[in-house]
Copies of this chain bind each other. A is one copy, B any other.
């Protein structure tokens, strides 16, 4: 969507000790296919914090829906991601930061909500030289109010190869999805609702 708006895209992924680290390989494939100007993988030493099923291998990823904020919540994760993106954007001279959070049929993460994005936008202009002396930053979250089905349809229109993308929290080493975690369930429902054949590779296929 950023590219479609005419932006030259400098993509950013994080290796933060997530158990679904194969998502980084998927991100590299997608960035290459869609012609990103650059794709950086930043190592982030936050796995020691534990407390999340995504970074602590002793906490299992739930295979059925749970109430409230799920155990896959990683404390302050999107704040940390956006803070590093902000630093890089300032160095690049880029005024627009895009993040793919989604609040409508999301899994209950506080840092995927529009009010979080607005608060970070306010922070960004106070935190930086560009905010004080320049034109400041826009934090764009174009997916935030879309349904997952709308996201699938929009991606199809823009040439996303969903066979190359990964949503699963507990993929096998070959990058095949479990089909049972929150993220897999929401993704499968979205393909069905969008009327698009699901190209996801599932474990056991």
Contacts and interface: CB of A to CB of B under 8 A. Distances in A.
A87 B46 CA distance: 9
B128 A119 contact: no
A51 interface: yes
Interface string A114-149: 011001101110111101110000000000000000
Identical chains bound together, number = 2
Interface string A68-84: 11000111111110111
Contacts of A133: 68-69
Contacts of A68: 133
Nearest to A14: B45
A34 interface: no
Interface residues of A, number: 45
A58 interface: no
Contacts of A48: 40
A76 B87 contact: yes
A111 B91 contact: no
14 contacts: A49-B91, A69-B129, A75-B87, A75-B88, A76-B83, A76-B84, A76-B90, A77-B87, A80-B84, A80-B87, A83-B83, A110-B127, A122-B122, A122-B123
